[in-house]
Chain A
Amino acid sequence: MTAKTKQEPLPQAVAATPMPGLLKLLTMLSLVGFCCALVLGLFVAGTDIQQGEIQRIFYIHMPSFFGAFSAFGLTVVGGFLYLWRKSERWDRIALAGVEVGLAFALINLATGAIWARPIWNTWWTWDPRLTSAAIMALTYAAYLMLRAGIEDEARKRSFMSVYGIFAFTSVLVTLFIIRVVPETIHPVIVGASPQNAQGSFEATSGVVIALIPSLLLWLTVLPITLIWHRSRIERRLEAVNRLKMQILSEQI
């Protein structure tokens, strides 16, 4: 497969362009929003009388999953648009989405495991939700490994676009599995919790008011900001690599 891609002129791509105003604003919003979401979750929301302080990690655990959902969703969008337009920009967004989404998915897994220790008395159990979340993270880790292993640029971009689109099924499975598999012990906060759920708590108004801003931040501002920063770096990295190849070919 040797698809032709639109290459940007090297000097323009290599130059460190100043940060766009909107990205500066998003970065500021991310920082302020992250601090405010922490204040809401740690100091404003009431302490759960059954679970104690550890319940507060919910305000990071659940939003981080939706942050990963959003970032992996951008990978799907980037993948489709790359396959259609063959513009490297969309492939860079897809790659950035995987890196940011994987970081968020790891936060989700780590916080879940730490919550489970005092509440379930174990760091890990092969519950359907936990297993699917682990498979999801491994699927996207494999994306990065596979990408590093393909040398042909055009083939790599096309193949990884298709991979990124299909990998999203693991995100959907993780999202919906506790609605389908009744054997789960993972609590459901919105809607009826499974009968076996352990560590459930009521989504009272205090919980909701701390959760909504955090959810909005992790779902929109945070992934977009980080993906934008990461794709800008990737753009310069690709241009520098091309410049290196050009110099090498001139020397040969």
Chain B
Amino acid sequence: MMRAYISLISILISAGLLLAQDDQASLPYLQTAAFNLPLLEGWQNQRGDAFAQFHFAEAQASIRAALLELPDPIAAAGTDLNRAFGIEPASPIYQDKVNLADGTWHVLLYEPDDVTSASVMARRAEAQSVVISFVERDPEMRVLMLTIAQNGDARKDAAAELDLAWNLLATPAADLTEETVFSLPSGQWTGLAGDSSLAMGMAFGNDSYIAIGEGATSKLPMLADAYNRTVLGFFITPDNSGYLALALAASFAILALLILSFFWRSRNIQKDLQLIESLRQAEG
């Protein structure tokens, strides 16, 4: 029976290992040692142990998330762009801050050369920094992604921020007339198209998420959706293993107290019996 029990346990552990791997494979999220972010379908997964990276070859675009041992988010953004993409970021063409649910993020846009653009969000996580970046190197297209805090009460449209970003970043600032609505997994986006240009905006919470594309803009909705799903779906799993250790210690302590009380009571019975025996002998 013991042998059968051990065999059953071995089978269960093996099945558990297989099914746990299966769970991991079917999870819509990518787990790294430090954080989680949605898996992007159709993108090549180039993850490492300490970073997540997806690449879309057709658009020469990459989305990357990394945790760096640097407390300054802007320095961390520069370091990560340099380390991962060989970009030497000079001063950003746009820099701002936004308060999202998980903290204050720095929004940075870089254009280190004629074909490369890097849209970065970075925030401090205790003594480290989280950097989420979108880098594209398609000579036929220029893409910039940014998040802008809405002024005043939250609105359901990103029109004001879209207009602001377009006037600030488009080269040259052309008129956008044709309005299109894109229903994407990340949300409902409003697109304004002009001559070889497209600007998209989505309102979420108190912020507007903007994507600006110039040149061949047909892939912009897909790229904007992928990057913003990454930004909105990114989260750090809290390290609460200390609580797990405490709960296990409490469980073991209660079980140990129960079992020790059995031994203690057995010992007391034995002592009582010895006493009774010695009393009987004394009487005899």
* A residues apposed to B, CB below 8 Å: 14, 16, 25, 28-29, 32-33, 36, 39-40, 44-54, 56-57, 60-61, 64, 99-100, 103, 106-107, 110-111, 114-115, 117-118, 204-210, 212-213, 226, 229-230, 233, 236-237, 240, 243-244, 247
Interface residues in B1-33 (C-beta closer than 8 Å to A) = 1-2, 5-6, 9, 12-13, 15-17, 19-20, 22-24, 27, 29, 31
Measured between alpha carbons, how far is A103 from B257 in the docked complex, in Å? Answer: 9
Contact A107 B243 (CB under 8 A): no
Contact B9 A106 (CB under 8 A): no
Contact of B238 among A52, A103, A230 (CB under 8 A): A52
**Which stretch, B124-132, B136-144, B264-272, touches the partner chain A?**
B264-272
Distance in Å from the Cβ of A224 to the closest Cβ of chain B? Answer: 14
Chain A, Cβ-Cβ closest to B20? A206
Contact B269 A236 (CB under 8 A): yes
Measured between alpha carbons, how far is A28 from B17 in the docked complex, in Å? Answer: 25
Contact A60 B20 (CB under 8 A): no
Contact B20 A46 (CB under 8 A): yes
Measured between alpha carbons, how far is A13 from B248 in the docked complex, in Å? Answer: 38
Contact B240 A118 (CB under 8 A): yes
Distance in Å from the Cβ of B71 to the closest Cβ of chain A? Answer: 23
Contact of B9 among A36, A50, A52 (CB under 8 A): A36
Q: Does B222 contact A (CB under 8 A)?
A: no
Q: List 16 A-B contacts (CB under 8 A).
A: A29-B2, A36-B9, A40-B12, A44-B20, A45-B16, A49-B27, A49-B31, A50-B235, A53-B239, A53-B241, A64-B251, A107-B250, A114-B243, A213-B12, A236-B266, A237-B265
Measured between alpha carbons, how far is A233 from B264 in the docked complex, in Å? Answer: 10
Contact of A103 among B9, B27, B258 (CB under 8 A): B258
- Residues in chain B near residue A233, CB distance under 8 A: 262, 265-266, 269
Do A49 and B29 contact each other (CB < 8 Å), given the known contacts A32-B6, A237-B265?
yes
Measured between alpha carbons, how far is A206 from B240 in the docked complex, in Å? Answer: 21
Chain B interface, >50% SS class? helix
Binary contact track B222-252/A, C-beta < 8 Å → 1, others 0: 0000000000000101111101101110110
Measured between alpha carbons, how far is A206 from B26 in the docked complex, in Å? Answer: 11
Contact B244 A57 (CB under 8 A): yes
- Residues in chain A near residue B279, CB distance under 8 A: 247
Contact B36 A49 (CB under 8 A): yes
Contact of B276 among A33, A212, A244 (CB under 8 A): A244
Chain A, Cβ-Cβ closest to B35? A49
Measured between alpha carbons, how far is A118 from B29 in the docked complex, in Å? Answer: 22
Nearest 8 interchain pairs by C-beta:
A206-B20, A44-B16, A206-B23, A114-B247, A205-B19, A53-B241, A209-B16, A110-B250
Known: A49-B237, A240-B272, A240-B276. 17 other contacts (CB 8 A): A28-B2, A32-B2, A44-B13, A47-B31, A49-B29, A51-B240, A53-B239, A53-B243, A53-B244, A57-B244, A57-B248, A60-B248, A103-B257, A110-B247, A205-B19, A206-B19, A240-B273
Contact A40 B16 (CB under 8 A): yes
Contact B15 A209 (CB under 8 A): yes
Contact B258 A226 (CB under 8 A): yes
Most-contacted residue by chain A among B269, B279, B280 (CB, 10 A):
B269
Contact of A52 among B15, B237, B250 (CB under 8 A): B237
Do A103 and B255 contact each other (CB < 8 Å), given the known contacts A233-B265, A240-B273?
yes
Chain B, Cβ-Cβ closest to A250? B283
Contact B247 A60 (CB under 8 A): yes
Measured between alpha carbons, how far is A42 from B270 in the docked complex, in Å? Answer: 40
